[in-house]
């Protein structure tokens, strides 16, 4: 489906006309579409600012995947003595800012309110020169891990700073995230792949998000992103829908064997998709008490194991609560919540679900903020947020992580059926002033499915373009 205003934005002439008429055209986003590879930041200049403890280790990880570093004047260059000189420059003019496509600011050493001025000065000096589609990550301490109240206050303050900055840069298609990490070696190691992903164009529709790095799950042997899904067995429910299909195709491109599950009514489309990705088709109606047992048998017959569970299937039966019939309440809760718990719990008790696996549930911003006429749907989607948080703790000793992805307005056949004005309004309610595409969600899911995401656990990753609902 087409966003007419976004299509007009491709023309510089039309952009000028719209601006003169007082209409801010949405930015054209630069998205990555190819498989990850080993150097997802190849030929990317990254400006390094701040003076935190995580800075040098993370900077080296960026160089390892193809980035070159530009150090702000306040950064201690001696920390980077072991990086080749041709991958290291000093920031000395505005054209270097315009050339850069990523910014990493380490605020993890900030302890006092007055120290926040360093963040102001750094971004004040570069913001006007930042080019479109620049990715910004702000690092900070985890507030709950700070012993001093003022130190915790400052870490929390950086959230407000980062979210506000994301709205100021959103009209350029640029994004800003806040990553809170433990300051020890393990925290830095687990933060590195997350920062790499957020500084890449695979995260083009994610902005204004706060992600805390977790060391809860048992340590991995490797945190490399490239190739980490090769040979993995991944179950995707709701496989033939807009987000589901994009996820299946993306997983296939990364080398995974995909178990494609969808409703029996979609058998033909399901079998065609499974054949296209050399995967396995599993026609099955969800929301039934024997789903777990039947799925166990299907997995045994297909590949004998599963590494990743992606619970994408869902139904909507929208009505205000006073008009909602009981069957519609029961159906949405059974499919969108009950079946997910039943299937996950059953497979976790078998030997099929391997250690260092992943559980990924598709929540929604409706579950975070609530939505008129969707008490059933929002209840189920909010429940999934609580489920992954609880599950992340119980499965951590096995190295298994559990996370939720909360899409905002995504251009799918389902949203195409919305009334025209409702659709236009929903698109403009985000920082990036447009809807996302299914591949935006698929990229986030693939990252969380990878072994590189071990530091993200019990979290909700919003893929919403900075949507105002639930922000």
Residues 6+ apart with CB under 8 A from 176: 136, 137, 138, 162, 163, 165, 166, 169, 207, 208
- What Rg value do the Cα atoms of the chain yield, rounded? 22
Distances from the Cα of 33 to the Cα of 5, 142, 145, angstroms: 23, 32, 37
* CA atoms of 118 and 52, how far apart (whole Å): 11
Contact assessment for residue 83 and residue 62, using Cβ atoms and an 8 Å cutoff? no
Distances from the Cα of 61 to the Cα of 57, 70, 80, 175, 448, angstroms: 7, 15, 12, 21, 19
Contact assessment for residue 458 and residue 214, using Cβ atoms and an 8 Å cutoff? yes
Annotated catalytic residue, options 105, 202, 223, 377: 377
* CA atoms of 18 and 8, how far apart (whole Å): 9
Examine the residue annotation and report whether 86 is marked as an active-site residue of this protein: no
Structure tokens at 68: 């070159």
Contact assessment for residue 138 and residue 209, using Cβ atoms and an 8 Å cutoff? no
Which residue's entry shows tokens 């250690």? 355
Residue 448: CB atoms within 10 A of its CB come to 25
Nearest-CA neighbor of 363 among 448, 304, 423, 294?
Answer: 448
Contact assessment for residue 366 and residue 422, using Cβ atoms and an 8 Å cutoff? no
Active site residues: 377
């Amino acid at each position: 489906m087409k966003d007419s205003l976004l299509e007009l934005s491709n023309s510089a002439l039309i952009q000028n006309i719209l601006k003169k008429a007082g209409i801010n055209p949405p930015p054209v986003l630069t998205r990555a579409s190819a498989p990850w590879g080993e150097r997802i930041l190849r030929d990317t200049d990254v400006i390094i600012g701040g003076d935190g403890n995580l800075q040098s280790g993370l900077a080296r990880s960026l160089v390892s995947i193809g980035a070159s570093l530009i150090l702000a004047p306040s950064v201690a260059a001696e920390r980077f003595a072991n990086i080749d000189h041709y991958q290291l420059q000093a920031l000395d003019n505005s054209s270097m800012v315009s050339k850069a496509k990523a910014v990493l600011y380490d605020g993890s050493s900030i302890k006092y309110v007055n120290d926040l001025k360093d963040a102001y000065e750094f971004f004040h000096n570069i913001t006007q020169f930042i080019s479109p589609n620049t990715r910004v990550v702000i690092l900070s301490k985890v507030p709950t891990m700070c012993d001093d109240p003022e130190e915790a206050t400052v870490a929390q303050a950086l959230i407000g700073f980062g979210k506000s900055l994301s709205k100021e840069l959103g009209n350029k298609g640029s994004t800003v995230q806040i990553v809170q990490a433990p300051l020890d070696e393990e925290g830095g190691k687990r933060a590195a792949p997350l920062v790499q992903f957020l500084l890449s164009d695979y995260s083009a529709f994610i902005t204004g998000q706060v992600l805390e790095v977790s060391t809860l799950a048992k340590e991995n042997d490797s945190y490399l992103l490239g190739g980490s899904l090769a040979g993995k067995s991944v179950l995707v429910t709701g496989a033939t829908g807009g987000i589901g299909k994009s996820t299946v195709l993306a997983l296939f491109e990364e080398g995974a064997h995909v178990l494609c599950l969808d409703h029996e009514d979609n058998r033909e489309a399901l079998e065609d998709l499974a054949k296209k990705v050399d995967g396995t088709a599993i026609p099955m109606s969800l929301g039934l008490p024997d789903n777990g047992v039947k799925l166990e048998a299907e997995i045994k017959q297909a590949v004998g194991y599963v590494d990743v569970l992606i619970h994408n299937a869902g139904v909507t039966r929208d009505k205000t609560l006073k008009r909602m019939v009981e069957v519609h309440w029961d159906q949405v809760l059974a499919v969108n919540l009950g079946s997910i718990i039943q299937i996950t719990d059953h497979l976790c008790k078998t030997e099929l679900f391997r250690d260092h696996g992943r559980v990924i549930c598709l929540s929604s911003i409706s579950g975070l903020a609530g939505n008129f006429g969707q008490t059933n749907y929002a209840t189920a989607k909010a429940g999934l947020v609580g489920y992954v948080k609880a599950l992340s703790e119980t499965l951590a000793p096995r190295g298994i992580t559990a996370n939720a992805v909360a899409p905002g307005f995504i251009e799918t056949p389902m949203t195409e059926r919305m009334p025209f004005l409702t659709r236009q309004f929903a698109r403009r309610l985000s920082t990036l002033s447009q809807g996302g595409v299914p591949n935006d969600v698929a990229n986030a899911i693939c990252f969380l499915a990878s072994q590189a995401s071990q530091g993200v656990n019990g979290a909700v990753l919003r893929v919403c373009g900075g949507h105002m609902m639930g922000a």
